[in-house]
Structure 1
Amino acid sequence: MSLVRAPLTLVAAYGMGYALTPPNPPVSDEERRAYRTAETTLGRLVLAWPAAIKYLIWAGSLCEAAVIVAHNFPYPPLTDRIISTLLPAGNSAVSLQVTPSLLIGTLITTVGAYWRHLCYRTLGRFFTFELSIRKEHQLVTSGPYSVVRHPSYLGSIVACTGIHACLFGRGSLLRESGLLETGMGKAIIGGSAIHAALLVIFFARRARHEDRALKQQFGEQWDQWAKQVPYRIIPYVF
């Protein structure tokens, strides 16, 4: 077992957690009125989705790190109990190794999280997880917003791709424990695949709603920006 896997896994979890954490407080009801979509009727429940995903990722990453630390620094009976609880009998903790999927996944997650950070910093107080037009709202077209019109969604997709490689790839606790080969594991894989597909659909629909509201709010200024930045989320694709 490689002890290095533990900090790399936690770095990836931190990056994904950062990407899923709102940089500003929730918006007011008045600021949400510019949008009339099925999403806005859910109110604060929209914030529960990224929070739930964040905590699930942290839970899985901390369990993996706990097994690695317990194996490398035995302190019976505590560490024995940790390993026996998180690893089925017959599965060795030695199999948790630094693998290409972890290295590439951590890098991709970090890049996605940093891209989200640039979006947070560029928009400042105008960046919200809820659809809204804030007081004295301005159309920001610099930084990541000069590449695509909704770069934060691109950052989320990139970070999600990376964290899946970390948690589901070879050498991970989920895979090496044998859990993914069980009925529960197949349900986890299926649920993750469905979630990923829904996330892409959600972002695509949301980007259209945002474009419509911003065009109505800023008119010609938005039209000029859309000509200069024709793609919504993925350059040369969409």
Structure 2
Amino acid sequence: MRSYLGLIIVGILAVFLLFNIFTNDNGSRRGMSGSDNYQENTYKDLPSEPDKSEILDTISSSNASSISTLIENGFPLLDTVKTDKGISKIYVTQKLTLKEAADALADKIEPEETSQKQDDKQVLVYPDHFVILQKSQEQQDVVFIELASDQFVRNNYSPGFFNGLMTYYILNRALGSDNWYNKRKSACKAQGNCYGGYVQSGRFNSGTTGSFRGSSQRGGGPGAGK
């Protein structure tokens, strides 16, 4: 009788141990799956957007008289970078390419300056604002549209960010200074880092200084004359 009782107890313990093993294994796999999904969908929490055609129609039919209103009406706001010397609002799109977004904005409201496109970024200069478009460094189909006040650019950006986009002469003129480039370059070297563009959700680069290359198109921009 005792032997049967012992076998029954052993059997119950075996079942209990097997149950715990499989339960822990499944729980572990669920956790790993969740982690993998999070990493694969870095931008799962981005604001929702209408279809591409609707975004373009909204921009082209807009009655906005300023570039800030046009961008606000056309794209969802993702982030805001605030300092005591200016503000920059970060809008985002996954529906439009960088070129499509830049063309749509420039066709509707003509910029004073349009930079060349280089290294997945382009700059449109308007009165009182810089529109800085960049592809995300994390996910290439995400485009950040940074609406930065000229005060923010003047006091926070590294001049090296604009390498290959526009000449220092054009940039100085856009910022209302005859020597912004050299002064800002010295300041950035002294303080160690400067703002270098919004490149990841919730993050921005520290800019580097350097000499300017490239040129800027006066007025017009993509699609000028249409």
Global fold match (TM > 0.5): no
Normalized against structure 2, the TM-score is what?
A: 0.22
Higher relative contact order (CA closer than 8 Å, sequence separation 6+): 1
Normalized against structure 1, the TM-score is what?
A: 0.21
Which structure is larger by alpha-carbon Rg, 1 or 2?
2
